[in-house]
Structure 1
Amino acid sequence: MDVSVFDRRETSDQLISAPLYNLIIGLTLCWGFLANWWMVTNIDPRSIAGINPWVFFLGYFASCFAGIYLFRKSDNPLVSFIGYNLVVVPFGLVINLVVAGYNPEVVAEAVRITGFVTVGMMALGTLFPAFFARIGGALTLALLLVIVVELVEIFIFKMHHGILDWIVALIFCGYIGYDWGRANAIPKTVDNAIDSAAALYIDIINLFLRILRILGRNR
């Protein structure tokens, strides 16, 4: 299939009920979060930090892009799930490195806040799908602009303004509502549920990392 996940409007796959569709999205997300939790609790962050930075980043992007390609282009649930895991693993390595620098209480609070915000944004995405559909382009432009500003600040001015973390957190809040609304606008199949969960996973993890950074700075 050449049509990306949220552009799908027709399918030859078997349709499933809305409750089952949402359950599969939830279970797929939980699988990713549990895999990340296992990685954080069982992999020494020093072993990750010891990897050559070029090797790490090349492997990270290669795995992520391969995973995204698989779940975007495939209509086979197993292939999409493999692609999802190719995204979960490198994200888990980054999460491991990041949380190692924070107090466990701060990490737990970031997890809790992220969970509440995610549920809230999904509810808003359900109630106001048309609104979130309209702001999709603005979210993408805003994120690209913030990334450019952050890179300029870090590599040229050697600084970072905390307000950027708040802006990125708000952008990913919007993305959660946006992607949740889009997930419920496409045919409800097992493959589409897994693909939608993969997109939401990326949104949620990015939100978590920014919330963690905000909380850590405030402490």
Structure 2
Amino acid sequence: MSIQYNHSETYRPTESQLASALATAMTRVYGLMAVGLALTAIVAWITAHSATILQLIFGNTIVFWGLLIGELVLVIAIGRAINKLSPTAATALFLFYAALNGLTLAAVFLVYTLSSIALAFVATSSLFAAMSIIGYTTKRDMSKMGGFLLMALIGLIIASVVNFFLASSALEWVLTYAGIAIFLGLTVYHTQRIKQGTAAMLLSGQPEMVNRVAIMGALSLYLDFINLFLYLLRLIGRRR
């Protein structure tokens, strides 16, 4: 994701004005992320309780993989087109993605008990909140950590594909712990990046760009939360 903006005109708010505007913008980020998560959960729950929809998605390999590929393409498209999309259109695409994600995540309700899903959600929420607070308040520059985490994430994806064929339980546990660590780190990194990007837009006097940063920020944190939840569910979830 690359947000572009013009430095030609700058606006210098007071420190208190900047802090207030930044808090408002970050509230929008978390609010939009929460709406996306709620939409995903609702769609997943409805799907899990509909035999017709389940058969359509999980009984047809083409449909299932089509959804997964469609989700990936949609995320990439939002990131590439964020500077051209209106905030309303970008928000709509984010929510559409969250709904699509709910279709494939319905499998969670079929595989794990409700109590363990609830436990994983509470654990995810607590860890996510702690990491996001660290990212928002830390004075340390996390940009270098971002590059390291990106490489680690690529390695995790490659190793997961390899283990799909190896089916090694030992490697599966290693990947689970690695996934938790990576997405905890990404939560810290993304939160700081969102804060810095929002502050830059506020200082440059571009409110529409603040909205775009909020939407991309909500998408980034949404993905961090979902992936952290799934890895924690692997670790502490009880299968039916």
16, 32, 35: which one aligns with 1:31:
35
Aligned pair 1:158/2:167, yes or no? yes
Residue 58 of structure 1: which of 66, 73, 91 is its match?
A: 66
Q: Do structure 1's residue 171 and structure 2's residue 197 form an aligned pair?
A: no
Paired amino acid for 2:30: G
Q: Distance in 1 between matches of 2:44 and 2:109?
A: 8
Q: 2:15 is matched with which residue? A: none
Distance 1:129 1:180, change over 3 A: farther
Q: 1:217 to 1:37 in 2, by over 3 A?
A: closer
Q: Does 1:73 align with 2:81?
A: yes
CA contact under 8 A between 1:36 and 1:89: conserved in structure 2? yes
Q: In the alignment, is the contact (CA less than 8 A) between 1:40 and 1:92 conserved in 2?
A: yes
TM superposition shift of 1:60: 2.5
Structure-1 residue corresponding to 2:191: 180
Map 1:118-129; keep pairs closer than 5 Å. 118-128=128-138
Q: Is the 8 A contact 1:110 1:208 kept in 2?
A: yes
Partner of 2:95: 85
Q: Using the alignment, how far apart are the partners of 2:158 and 2:212 within structure 1?
A: 34
Secondary structure of the residue aligned to 2:32 is: helix
Task: Verify the 8 A CA contact 1:132 1:174 in the aligned structure 2.
Answer: no
**Offset at residue 129 of structure 1 (A):** 5.5
Q: Tell whether the 8 Å contact from 1:129 to 1:178 is kept in structure 2 after alignment.
A: no
Q: Which runs of 5+ in 2 are unaligned?
A: 12-17, 203-209
- Give the 4+ runs in structure 1 shifted more than 6 A: none
Task: Give 5+ residue unaligned stretches, structure 1.
Answer: none
Question: Over residues 13-67 of structure 1, what are the superposed CA-to-partner deviations in whole Å (9 max), with x where a residue is unaligned?
Answer: x999112101111210111111022113322364335431222212332243224
Give me the whole-angstrom Cα distance separating, in 1, the residues matched to 2:236 and 2:113. Answer: 10
Question: What SS does the corresponding residue of 2:40 show, helix, strand or coil?
Answer: helix
Q: What TM-score, normalized by structure 2, do the two folds share?
A: 0.79
> Partner residue of 2:14?
none
1:24–1:193 contact (8 Å) kept in structure 2 = yes
Aligned residue pairs: how many? 213
Q: Percentage identity across aligned positions?
A: 23
